[in-house]
Structure formats: structure tokens, C-alpha cells
Structure 1
């Protein structure tokens, strides 16, 4: 696509709906840095008259949704500050403690065996348990939230059921914390004085847990895959820790969980990457394309020294809030450390080339990561 079209590519979404995919680093920086021209207001889209009610991407793109994803201007800045303050109130030591506890519980569930699928039995279960605890849910509500979140990744019928369960759970949580505040994210959001309604807070909690769970699960899975298949990271499998951060950073550049984001909507006719873009056109953010742009990857230095100039968390006023990035990193790194500490002789159970990805252009993650290891006792007791 880059050879044929350059940094901006005309594409068709499901059902033949036209859009523009930005895969140039500088062009993506321009789009995400200019919210007045490239707005997050999906109501501007000139294709809404052509979008059927059952269009498969409708839940992703949204129309007249009262969440932070589609709020613009000063109200968005107030909303982002509210979310940032609520997340910034998370105690780092408590966060790591929750992540370690849930990770150890999950490893306890597989350690007596001689193998497991680290996607279905670990990575897809960990982030939502930690996030649910931070938001204010009781631990016994976590398993049902895990099921609902993972249903969102599956087929349409299960996705709808998962979304309904998540909405009902968040509504109960907000109502409960309204009556009895506690030291959690939901309570801190409700305590904000900017005048957000309970429904808006419910919507934003849903956005945060959805956006936080799947990409973090894929960050864990993609990083473990890299460490198990690339000899550069072999030392980490025997107690080294520095290489874990290096592997995680490389994944954000080369194998980022969130590959594309839809989107931005052009407020007036403009030029972008040599193309004429019309008012109301949708621009899809090609995060992995921009990370791989040869214009900024001429010597491979992006992968060294913890360079975080990638687009994996977005850019501009609609990027992932910094406290949310830090929470995701702690969950992912702790999850990887616990695997390597508890299963020190872990190895792939299949050839590396046989590992497959979910068939999605938006999120990049493994369908499974089968591994073998020597059975070890659970932390609380001996072998069964």
C-alpha cells in the first residue's frame, strides 16, 4: 500500500464503505495533533446515510454515544482530566499487588499440569480482573466480567450479551458508589465537580475497561511470544528482568496490539499525504503502519534505549491517558514476570511458525500460545 499510494491509502471498510487509512508517521502525527481539522466527532461522517443498523463496525465507531471517545473541545478536556485524576489516584504498590495476586491465582490453576494455553488460560483473564478491582468491583464479580469482556471479542451474538452484562454491571457499580463512596476509580469519578452524569460515568468506565483489557492481554501474549521465539530474549527465561521491558517495548513498535483506530472525521476539505480529503470523510489511524514507516525507521534505532516515540497509545489530546498507560504497563510486565518466575523452564509446545493471529485488522493478538513446562506446586500447597 505504501508503494502504491504513499502515506495515505484509500480503503474500503465492511460493506464497501470508503475511508482513508493513514500509515505515514508524519501524517499520523499531523492528524492526531489537529483535532480542529481531524475531529473525533463521529456525527460529522458523510457515510451515515449508507450505514445499516446491523453494520458490524457500528459498535466500534459509534454514533451519538455519550462517552469520552466522541466528546470534543473543552468538554473533552474536562472529561479527560476527570478520568486522568481518577486513574492517577491508583496506588502503584496496590496495583502491583493486585496484579501479582491475580496472576499467581491463574498460574496456580495451570502449574500442576505440564502445559497450558497462555492466551485462553492466562493473558485473556488477567487484565480485566485487575481493572475490575481498581474500578471498585468485588473480587467475586471478576469471573463474570472476564466472561463478558471476552465475549466482546467473539461473534456478534456473544458480543451483544457481553456488552449488556458489562453495562448492567457498571450501572450497578456507579449506583452503589454514589450511595457509598470508597477508595476506587468509580468513586473518584463520581466525586469530580465538572458535572458529569452517572450515565456518562458508566459509559466512560465501559470504555476504560474495554480499551484496557484486550490490548493489555495482547501485549502480554505478544511479548511472551517474542521472548519464547527470539534468542535475544532467552536470558529472561532464566531470571533476567531487563529483557522483559525491552521485549515489551519492541512489541509496541513491531507488533502493537492496537493496529488501527477508527477514527477521525474531516471538518473541511483538505490535503493529506497528496490526496484530496473531503469534509465528512473518515480517517482511520494506522498505528502499526506509522510505527513501521521507513521514513523514521532508517537505522532500527527506534527499538533501542526504551524509545517510546511509537503511536501504540495514540497521540494528541485523544491519546490514551498517561495514568492508563502506566497501569497497562504494570499489569503486563507483572503478568510476564509471574509466568517466568513460576514456570522457569517454559517452552513453546508447537513450532513458532504455526502460531496464528486473530483475523482482525484492528487488534493484533494470538489465538493461542501453547506452552510446556515442568509441573510445579501451587503457592499455597504441595502437589495434588
Structure 2
């Protein structure tokens, strides 16, 4: 019987993220077209339509845009948190030597765009939007890499993915620390109690995802009431979901937690016990990924990318966002990477040279999802909001085109000739 090779988890991830990029682009394009069409009023009415949910005498009434940005995006950040935790504990970011390049690049790619934006908007009404050009949208960026096919080394894709995960962690910290309204300490205390319950359940070895789902709903509600942005609940819940595998398969092969590569190989050959063998974190990550990819992110793009060009100015905010994404991101990523390699803290991935790194630096200017998300937190003024969104869309498009063209012309390093 012929054996059909299965894709590795990373290969499946890249393929799904590439498709997510296409969905995001189509959703954003549809929103932009509607906002600049005779149906603009209907599009805006849909954004502001109210939806109420009642439970035990309590009613939660939000607009559709707020349901998407506050609730469904919490699911997105839950997935982000799961990926961050997995990478920190057993992935690329677990090894300090391998993680050094991605961490340095991500930090440089956050600080330089923020500084450039702040410089261009110093003293102006848009000064608070410095966090907008800091993020990289991994779905879009990997989608561009997928269009280039096998000419892109796997090491470059892994580097970009690790960089984007560190980038997401930085974005979560920025949102929590700098884009938070006044705190309701009572609600924050209740959120802390729920989070401790989730951590306690993980400590006791609870593996039923339903338990964490129920606790997550309460956590989201109390975080939402506390003044912190509700999406922070997703990251906090992710930190509580257990990663440890305790299964008959593990005992059968007598593997330690450090033997993750051998265990993963065993799992691929034992599909009948896959569900039991996976940790709750892995199961939840695989469960959420299609919903986030095919529903949450396209819906977010549709609700937030509808910028009407009529009345939208090209002011300092737009200039700051475009400059931060198109110039600041590649300068920060490349500069920090070069310093890390120069001082021996890291080395380039196998099969990767500086021209390829330059192309990836340009692709990191694809901000989109998190950049639009921070835009909504940074500005309440409609004019500034439109300026910033226009900057995000323009900067993302320019970065994608520049990165694609650059990498299309770049050549990987030549393999050394074999000696006779």
C-alpha cells in the first residue's frame, strides 16, 4: 500500500496563512469598495447595527463593529497567545541562540517605526497613534512568500513567522500598557479570580477544553468591564491552557517532554490516538485556526477597512503610518538583525543571505490586522481614524509590492562546490 506523505504542522500553517492572506485582501477590498460606492450608507448602517445578548437578567448590547473588534478579535488574540506560548516553550523561541535573531529583528521593527511616526506627529493631534505601524501581519506576509514558491528558503519563512510572533507579543503589551482607559478595579479583581481558577485548573491537570471555554467567557466579560481592552482576555486564557502531554502514547514510547521531535514523529504514525496524544493547547490551537482564518479575520477586515476617500485627508497621521510601515519596519528589522549577527548574538538562517533578509524586512511593513486594530484604540476622532486607516492600507500595499518585487529578483546564496 502506498504511503501518502502528510504535511508537517509548519507546512500546513504556511499554506493556511497564505490562504488567510487572500481572504483578508478580498474582504478589505470589498469593504473599501462599499465605502466608496452608492451603498456606503448601507455599509455604515451595518457597522452600527446593534446586537443584544441576554443571560440571567443581564443584557450586553453592542454594535456589530464592537462585537467583531471586542469579542471575536479576543478569539484571534487567544490563538496568538497559544502560538506565543508554544513557541516560547517548545518552538523556535525556546532556544535562545535560534530566537536571538527573531527577537532582535522584532524589537528593532517595533521601535524604529514607532519613533519615526512619533517624530512626524510630534505635538500634533495624532501623536497617540505611534503604536499603529509597529505590527506585522503574518498572514499577508506569508501569503506573499507563498506566491514566490520554492525560491524562498524554508529558513526565511520560519524566521518571518518567529519574528511575527514576537511582534504580536509586543503588540499585546503595547495595547495593555498604553491603550487602556480608566480601570474598574472591582471588575479587574474578578477577572483576576477567574484567571487564577483557569491557572489552577491547568495545575490540577484539567484537559477538557469546555472548562477553559466557560472560564474564558467570564474572563472576557470582566476584562471588558474593567477598562482593559477585552482582547487581552484571549492572551491571558492562552497562558493558562496546558501544553504538557500526558497520554498512553507518551508512556508507550517512554518519551520525556524534551523529546518533542520524536514524539511528533510518533504522532504522525499513530493517527488513531492523535486526539488523545495532543496537549489541550495543541487541540485548542488546531480547533481555533480555521475559524480565525476563514471567519474572524475576514470579518474584522470587512468591518474596519472601509475607508471613504471623500473627505479623507492625507495629513501627518497618514504620512507617519506609511513612513513607519514602508521605511521604519525594514530599517528596524535589518538594522537590529545586522547588529545581532555582527556581535555574534545570532546567525542568519541556513540558505539565507542579506538580500533575502532585505526582502523580508520590506514584507514586515505589511501591518494590516493589528495595525487597524490599534488604530481603533488610538483614535476616537473620525478624521484621524480615516487618516490612520488610509495610511495602514497604503503602507501595507506598498510594502507587499516592494517586498514581492525585491524577493523576485533576490538570489539565495550559492551552495559551495563539492571537492573531488
Fold match (TM-score > 0.5) = no
Structure 1 length as normaliser, TM-score? 0.27
Query: Normalized per residue, which structure has more helix?
Result: 2
Identify, as 1 or 2, the structure richer in strand. 1
Give the TM-score normalised by the residue count of structure 2.
0.26
